[in-house]
Every structure is written in C-alpha cells, then in structure tokens.
Amino acid sequence: KESGYEAWLRYRPCESEELLGHYRKYFNRVWFRQGLEIMRTAMQELSHGAGIITRCTVRLCDEGWQGAGIAIGLIDDFSELKDLLGNEILGTLPEDGYLMRSIEHEGLPRLVLAARSANGMLYAVFHLLRLMKSVQRLDRLNIAEHPRNALRMINQWDNMDGSIERGYAGRSIFYRDDEFVSDWSRIRDYARLLASVGINAISLNNVNVHERETLLITDELLPKVAQTASIFSAYGLRTYLSINFASPRQIGGLPTADPLDEGVRAWWKERADAIYRHIPDFGGFLVKADSEFRPGPYTYGRNHADGANMLADALEPHGGLVIWRCFVYDCLQDWRDRKPDRARAAYDHYTPLDGRFRENVLLQIKNGPMDFQVREPVSPLFGGLSKTNQMLELQITQEYTGQQKHLCYLPSQWKEIVDFDTFALGEGTSVAQIVSGKAFGRRHGGVAAVSNIGDDQNWTGHLLAQANLYGYGRLSWNMEIGEEEIAWEWTCLTFGKKEKVTDTICCMLLDSWSIYESYTAPLGVGWMVQPNHHYGPSVDGYEYSKWGTYHFADCHGIGVNRTLLTGTGYSAQYPSPQFERYESLQDCPDELLLFFHHVPYTHRLQSGKTVIQHIYDTHYEGAERAEGLVERWKTLEDDIDEGRYRQVLDRLQEQAEHAKEWRDVINTYFLRKSGIQDIHKRPIY
C-alpha cells in the first residue's frame, strides 16, 4: 500500500511512449564537471529521478561533449557554456540562480543547465525533474530562475526527548530519549524534500530551549550536531541552532548572562569558535528571548539590541547570523484591564531599536501581531522597521488551523500576507519586497517557517498537508508564484497529471482555508480554541486568562477596539492609508472587523449582513462545505491508490464531524449571549 512517504518526489516511469523516446534522447548522455559535494548530490538526484522516469540508466560522463544530451555545469568551470549561452546572460545570473535552455546542435537535441553555485545546480536539477514529472517536453525550454529571498529557512520545534512542540505528525525524526536518532536515512530524505523546493537553512531544535537542548552547543553534543549538519550540507542547507540566552549561567558556570559582561561575551565567543571547528558552514543562532518565560537581556536591564549584538559579535568572524525573534509580549495580563494590547507589543518593543542591530542580525517577525490565527492583519513591524534586517516567520504546522486533522491549504493565507501593501515607501511596498531586503536595501533577508513534519509515515499526518510544506518552499523561493499554480504543481507531482484528479484536489485545496475560517472564530477575532493544546472550539477558552487573547463578547456585542480614537491605538501602528482603512468602521474589511472594532451584534457588515447573522450563516455553511470535501474526495476513489485514498478520506471525515461541533458550540454561545434568533430558524442546540 502506498504510504505517501515519497511525497512530491514520487517518480514513476513515463507512460507515454512518445515522450519516453523524447526523454531518452536527452538522457542518453549527461555531461557534467565534478565539483563540490552538492554537485554530486545533484547528479545523484538526476540519475535517480530520470532513471525511473525513462526506465534507463542515465549515462554520466565528464568529457567528449558531442551528440545529443544534457550539459550541466557551473558557469565558472565549464567554459563551453559561455560559448553556448553567451557571457552576457551568464554574467547577470544571481547567486543560486540557474538557466535551462534547449538548443539544437548539428540537428541533435541538447539541453543546457548552467548555474553560478552548486546550490543553483541542485535547484536546476530538481526543476528539470519537476518538468518531466509533469510530462513536459524538453525541446523548447528557455528558463532563467533565481531565488528572491536569500534565506529560505525551516524551523524545527523538536525537543531532544523526541516530542515536537506543536507537532501533529508523530515524533521527532531527529531525536529520541534525549539523544540523536541512530538512523539518519529519514533525515536525508527530509533534506531531499526541502532542497527540492529551494530551502537552504534549517534550525534543528525548538525555540523553547530546555535543559538538554541547552547542551547542543557543548563539546558533548556538537559532534552529533555536526553529523546532522553534514547531511543537510550535502543538500545545500545550512544548519542553525536555537540557543538558550542563559547558557553562560546554566552551563558555563558564570554568575550572569548579562550581554554587556566581558566574561559572558568571551564565553559566547569561545563557544562560537568551537561550533565552527565542528561545523565550518554553521549558519548561526535562532533566539527566543524574554518571551513566554524564556530568559533574555531584560533580566539584566539590557535591551534586545544589546542581547542580539553580543551574539552577533561572537558569530561575526565566522560569517554566522543571529536570528532574533520578535514574539515578545506580556503574557501575564489581567483581562479586566483593557489598556494593554498584546497586538501592539512587537512594534512597541522593536521600532525604538531600529538601526541599532549589527549587520549580521535579522529580526524574525511572525506574520501577524498575535499568533498564527486563521486570520490576522499583517504585522505592522513590516514597514515599521527600515534600518534593520528582517525575516518573515510563518507557521506550516497547523497549530491554530486544524492541526493536520483539518484540511487547510496555507499558501492561500500566505499569499495575502506577502502581497500586503505596507505603504512604507508609498504605494507598492509589499511585505515580499521588505523581507527580501529589497525595499530598504538591506543586506540580509528572507523567510522562516515552523515545520509540519514528524515521523508519521507520510511526514505530515494529513497527506494533503504536504502541500503546505511544498508551497512554503516554492513561495520562499519566489513570492510572486500564485497559490493556484503551487496547488497544481504539487497535486500533479504527488498524484499524477490526470485532469479529473488535479482539478478536484486543487479546488479542494484552494477552498480549504476559507472553509476552515468559516466554522471557527469569526471576522478576525481569533482564538476561541481549547486552552493549551489549541484544538477544538472553546469560545471563552482564552477569555479570562493571562495571555492577552480576548474577544470581549457580552450581551451587547463583540470585538476588540484597537482604534486610535477610542481603543488601544494599535491601528496607528500602520502608515496611511492602511491606518485610516482599519480605523474606520465603514472601511475596515469585514474579515478583520472584530480584530479592530467592538460592535453590537446588529452591526451591518459591508456584505449587508448583521454580525450575528454572519456568524450563524458562515458556521452552517462551513460545516456543510467541510462535508462537501468528503464528497469531492470520494469521486476520486477509482483514480487514487487505496493507501493514500483511505488516509485522506479518514481525515476528511473526522474534519466534517469536528466542523459540526465547531458550528454548534459557536452558534449556541452567540444565541445565548445575544438573544437574537437565526433568521432562517435552523436548529441551534
């Protein structure tokens, strides 16, 4: 039975005889120049994938370039490429970019793949394999590609005991019982998946760094870290570690972790030197400090620039980076006190420090001001900072979006985020342009996302959640790719090109975020989940807690007043005209209304419906549409292998049941609070 383990790297022999003949002409000979280890990886991947597709052994050779075939090489050590493609075009190729071009040579078909770096070569090879898997011909290719973001990173939230914080697909593939695993093959397969979509960095442990993981930077554990890092290096990924800011005290025997203390600074320098002795291409540190009870510079009366710069100075001689998270807020609030607003926190903490971070520091900013809810506005820190390197943080793991039991295709959400116009430099300053570093001419930039994989046979628990990992990679490469295109690519690579299958699955994916949103927390207000594990409905689950996560529903109305005029003033963290749009009750988009405004249940939305009727309608429709996903999937029973068909069916059925629970809990709550009946008189329990 198929398990889904191969994910989108599932190669099968080409079924069309004609195309098979076409491909074989090319793969009869592949010329390449041996180079770095990544080059060898690229050639292995090519031989493996193309070997299966063409049912032939791929013939690799490094000289005697004649006849039909494929030529692969780095621009600088394959001089023939220059004659073929011209110096001009090669000269403008950015780092990690590549060209793929079909040419005819004395009437014989040839394909040339040229890259500036070994990473670029690997990406070119995976691109070529993608084309072949989606049964495209190779005789009219003229492709020039390059990544728009320099850092394309994955954050593992794995703990060494084998658990994964917010993991929904089994246990860690990296650790078990406080040790590294002994079978590395799964890690290698993970590296393949990541590299195939252009990911080039990975942090290996949870940002909440517990006792055991604090030791990852010690001589005891560094050899194992290095072994893991070498697997990723072969696929062009640099390894990062999450560190504990209190390490000098906790494991270094120092009395303090004050970032301005000379002893502390020397301690980190010494550790950085040791790390680079073990891992010459080590990426750097990822840091969660002064957040949710993690230690940080505030303990010593220092600010976050002091903390980040101290680590940056230790890494700088080795070319390492500090990635400092901006998820910093007061998590000991009193719900009675309406003055503090968690949504304001990141902006309030970090804009005063703009320009005070070292060149090798990046601030990693969650997409929204709260915490990966199904709907949030874009964090106003994007645009609020102009003199600091920034990175966007997304969550692939579905903490608040159905925990990989519900289908929720996240590229739909991410596209809205990266396309959002911050107006920071006037109209047309998108989040994508800011995080790439382009808008403000920053040296470093990029995107990171919390992984959704574990040791479940199909990696992601819900097989269709693989599309989120794939989609993240593709978007981190180029944020201009559309979510439809990504859905189509992924479906085609995973399930084959049959139109009925691709059409059905793509539409399911593309509808799924809106479906999930419609039966969960309404109109951007967020939360309403069960505390701690965050699965399933509990409208007041976070209402009277200390976390700063309130909807303020009472018998009159609901929503958080974040206006400048009468509320917390959060809206003023956005420049014009976004500020005015959110501030105004009339102009605020419906989907974010309750994030910005507290309104009576009878308030009329732009859609023409009242808030209360909107809640009822979307929850009935949402549960019905979830049921519809099951029906749509069932039409594919004869088109998909049983193993994968069943897995998905089970999850979709569970989702449909659970969506009804969401519907009922929410509708009942608001009927009781508001006393207003559903105009359609549907049953409310």
Angle of the 499-519 helix axis to the 611-634 helix axis, nearest 10: 150
Helix, strand, or coil here: 498? coil
How many residues touch ligand GCW (CB under 6 A)?
8
Q: How many whole angstroms separate alpha carbon 281 and alpha carbon 666?
A: 51
Candidates 270, 292, 359, 661; catalytic one = 292
Q: How far is the CB of 134 from ligand GCW (least distance, A)?
A: 36
Interface mask (CB under 6 A) for ligand GCW, residues 146-165, using x and -? -----------x-------x
Q: How far is the CB of 218 from ligand GCW (least distance, A)?
A: 22
Is the Cβ–Cβ distance between 513 and 507 less than 8 Å? no
> Alpha helix (H) ranges present in 464-610?
466-477, 483-495, 499-519, 578-583, 593-596
What number of other Cβ atoms are within 10 A of residue 148's Cβ? Answer: 22
Closer residue to ligand GCW in complex, CB, 166/349? 166
Tokens of 560: 């958080």
Does the active-site annotation cover 399? yes
Q: How far is the CB of 166 from ligand GCW (least distance, A)?
A: 5
Site for ligand GCW in 305-334 (CB under 6 A): 327
What number of other Cβ atoms are within 10 A of residue 255's Cβ? Answer: 11
Does the active-site annotation cover 292? yes
Site for ligand GCW in 259-298 (CB under 6 A): 288
| Partners of 110 in the β-ladder | 69, 103
Candidates 371, 456, 483, 583; catalytic one = 371
Closer residue to ligand GCW in complex, CB, 448/465? 448
Site for ligand GCW in 652-681 (CB under 6 A): none
- Positive or negative, the CA dihedral 15, 19, 24, 26 is negative
208 binds ligand GCW (CB under 6 A): yes
Is the Cβ–Cβ distance between 569 and 347 less than 8 Å? no
Q: How far is the CB of 164 from ligand GCW (least distance, A)?
A: 10
Q: How many whole angstroms separate alpha carbon 555 and alpha carbon 540?
A: 14
Residue nearest to ligand GCW (CB): 371
| Partners of 627 in the β-ladder | none
Candidates 96, 316, 399, 678; catalytic one = 399
Q: How far from each other are the two terminal CA atoms of the chain, in whole angstroms? A: 42
Q: How many whole angstroms separate alpha carbon 134 and alpha carbon 416?
A: 27
CA angle 511, 517, 518 (to 5 degrees): 90
Q: How far is the CB of 189 from ligand GCW (least distance, A)?
A: 25
Closer residue to ligand GCW in complex, CB, 549/571? 549
Interface mask (CB under 6 A) for ligand GCW, residues 113-152, using x and -? ----------------------------------------
Q: How many whole angstroms separate alpha carbon 510 and alpha carbon 517?
A: 13
Is the Cβ–Cβ distance between 663 and 519 less than 8 Å? yes
H/E run at residue 654:
helix 642-674
Q: How far is the CB of 395 from ligand GCW (least distance, A)?
A: 8
Q: How many whole angstroms separate alpha carbon 308 and alpha carbon 64?
A: 53
Q: Please return the burial class of 104, using the count of CB atoms within 10 Å of its CB with bins 0-12, 13-18 and 19+.
A: exposed
Site for ligand GCW in 335-394 (CB under 6 A): 371
Cis peptide before 255 (omega within 30 of 0): no
385: left (phi over 0), alpha (psi -120 to 50) or beta: beta
Q: How far is the CB of 300 from ligand GCW (least distance, A)?
A: 21
Q: How far is the CB of 385 from ligand GCW (least distance, A)?
A: 19
Give Cβ neighbours of residue 67 (< 8 Å, ≥ 6 apart). 28, 29, 108
Residue with tokens 């069309």: 16
Q: Which position among 207, 231, 321, 558 is part of the footprint of ligand GCW (CB under 6 A)?
A: 207
Q: How far is the CB of 160 from ligand GCW (least distance, A)?
A: 15
Beta 361-366 vs 389-395: how paired, if at all?
Answer: parallel
Closest alpha carbon to 204 in 170, 231, 185, 177: 231
570 binds ligand GCW (CB under 6 A): no
Closer residue to ligand GCW in complex, CB, 235/372? 372
Give Cβ neighbours of residue 683 (< 8 Å, ≥ 6 apart). none
Eight-state DSSP code of residue 529: B
Q: How many whole angstroms separate alpha carbon 504 and alpha carbon 489?
A: 13
Closer residue to ligand GCW in complex, CB, 126/327? 327
Closer residue to ligand GCW in complex, CB, 135/331? 331
543 binds ligand GCW (CB under 6 A): no
Closer residue to ligand GCW in complex, CB, 216/463? 216
Q: Which position among 166, 171, 375, 614 is part of the footprint of ligand GCW (CB under 6 A)?
A: 166
Q: How far is the CB of 157 from ligand GCW (least distance, A)?
A: 5
- Positive or negative, the CA dihedral 219, 220, 221, 226 is positive
Q: How far is the CB of 333 from ligand GCW (least distance, A)?
A: 15
Letter for the amino acid at 423? F
Closer residue to ligand GCW in complex, CB, 54/403? 403
Closer residue to ligand GCW in complex, CB, 207/593? 207
Backbone angles phi, psi at 523, to 5 degrees: 50, 35
Q: How far is the CB of 393 from ligand GCW (least distance, A)?
A: 8
Backbone angles phi, psi at 341, to 5 degrees: -140, 115
Q: How far is the CB of 370 from ligand GCW (least distance, A)?
A: 9
Closer residue to ligand GCW in complex, CB, 290/371? 371
Tokens of 421: 């116009």
- Positive or negative, the CA dihedral 443, 447, 450, 456 is negative
Tokens of 676: 């207003």
Closer residue to ligand GCW in complex, CB, 165/313? 165
Closer residue to ligand GCW in complex, CB, 277/546? 546
Closer residue to ligand GCW in complex, CB, 522/526? 526
Site for ligand GCW in 405-424 (CB under 6 A): none
Q: How many whole angstroms separate alpha carbon 97 and alpha carbon 114?
A: 9
User: Which residues bind to ligand GCW, rule: CB under 6 A?
Assistant: 157, 165-166, 207-208, 288, 327, 371
Active site residues: 292, 371, 399
